[in-house]
A and B are shown apart, each in its own frame.
Chain A
Amino acid sequence: MADKDVIIDFLKSKSAAKSKFYFKDFTDLFPDKGPREVKKLLTQLVNEEVLEFWSSGSTTMYGLKGAGKQSHAEGED
């Protein structure tokens, strides 16, 4: 399976419980890859608009684009 699909499948498999994940959750998917390689994959997926960042201001998480609470849920439309 392509590396990007591993990430997407992981996110979809967890979608019932969680919509946002720490960077470390993704490095655990690729025990043979260093964090920098995993970061490149995630960056590509963000640039392809498959994933999106979520930030509290102090911590950043990744999630599938459109999953979980979105800005329109805050009345921002």
Chain B
Amino acid sequence: MAKHATPLLDQLESGPWPSFVSDIKQEAANRAANPKGLDYQIPVDCPEDLLGVLELSYEEKETHWKHGGIVGVFGYGGGVIGRYCDQPEKFPGVAHFHTVRVAQPAAKYYHSKFLRDLCDIWDLRGSGLTNMHGSTGDIVLLGTQTPQLEEIFHELTHKMNVDLGGSGSNLRTPEACLGQSRCEYACYNTQDMCYQLTMDYQDELHRPAFPYKFKFKFDGCPNGCVCAMARSDFAVVGTWKDDIKIDQDAVKAYVGGEFKPNAGAHSGRDWGKFDIQKEVVDLCPSKCMSWDGSKLSIKTADCVRCMHCINTMPRALHIGDERGASILVGAKAPVVDGAQMGSLLVPFISCEAPYDDVKEVIEKIWDWWMEEGKNRERVGETMKRLSFQKLLEVTDTEAAAYHVKEPRSNPYIFFKEEEVPGGWDRDLAAYRSRHQR
């Protein structure tokens, strides 16, 4: 018999999708049975109380969680988030239910031993409930109490060789797509760049000094499997400079029906014969392609790297050879100003280790944002408030047409002294020699 009746939550189990309610019930039953004979360090019934407090919130349409606090591990300003229930008498198992964030391995390649060890720690010292993975991409361990934090931290760092992730006003756990490990579209080694930058910016990850959160994400190509362009303050997205490589024979094989478009991904129903004109050429957002019945041509100068043609005909088309990445800045979810996509800052940057050119851009942005950003202001908001032009200035980037979003509405141009030959000083005598009063 469950500790709390949860009729509203039970309904959630009736839908077609796997339910978190079933998962929590399963863990509650497992903890009650305790098949491994563990000496649980936090209340054994915390999953049941978690269901109870959620049911209460569903009934009352109000949350019963307070968040924030002094919980943390010594010397770290992030990685642990204090959670307290405001009905501790009713739900003592979740009276203190802190979250621990743990850095995920690059591109989330796990060894099963790692996952088992992680679960062993969490079964003993936490609720046993995890969120694989949080929105930022890190491992989220849900629910423990303050005395367990240092123990968990010690075991994670000393036995499992893994660190806490980011939370609070600092660099959040960086995230990369699986890149060249499995994907032929990857234009640079996303995992390596993610790892190197994580190691280089340890101080920024653990000791908060930013106005608000800051996220890096690394996508190997514009398909954007980690959504860098939409979800990170600093997005590195793979791209190439030269032509898309075309195998004309393979194009004909797609047209002739020998190869399935999209590698057969849409084969669940009959969409009719593949029509290259309708399904590829006409869908090109910049209309840079043409098909004359026997040859596919692409005007590279007009290509915007949307990836549609490559995704549709992967055996015929391939990313170019001159590879690197574009940097976009300022994406965020809505809080202050509404959601924003990243704005293109650097159209092409080479991605060779140790990535000094990328780091140079990052550090210039940080210096500016740390100085000018208001409390709880994302860099995308600072950028909007102080202008994209200012961002170009602080990153020593020359303005170019691809930085322009719309024609300017202000007809005045104010020059700076350093932009005018000779500055503001004029030789008045020489001027008067040329111009009478």
Contact = CB atoms under 8 A, between A and B. Distances in A.
Does B associate with A?
yes
Interface of A: 22-24, 27, 34-36, 38-39, 42-43, 46-47, 52-60, 69-71, 74-76
Interface in B52-101: 67-72, 75-78, 80-82, 84, 88, 95-96, 99
Contacts, number: 98
Given A23-B169, A60-B169, A55 B211 contact: no
B263 interface: no
B376 A60 contact: no
A42 B210 CA distance: 13
B145 interface: yes
A55 B207 contact: no
A56 B67 contact: yes
A76 B69 CA distance: 12
Nearest to A53: B77
A58 B208 CA distance: 11
Interface string B319-351: 000000000000000000000000000000000
Nearest to A22: B375
Given A53-B76, A55-B78, A58-B167, 7 more contacts: A24-B211, A35-B367, A43-B207, A55-B208, A57-B167, A60-B170, A71-B70
Contacts of B69: 54-55, 69, 71, 74
A71 B98 CA distance: 12
A43 B212 CA distance: 17
Contact of B81 (A27, A39, A57, A69): A57
Contacts of A58: 167-169, 212-213
Contacts of B88: 75
The 7 residue pairs across chains A and B that have the minimum distance between CB atoms: A60-B168, A56-B68, A57-B81, A60-B208, A39-B209, A35-B370, A53-B77
A38 B370 CA distance: 11
Given A71-B146, A76-B146, A57 B67 contact: yes
A23 B210 contact: yes
Contacts of A43: 75, 207
A35 B169 contact: no
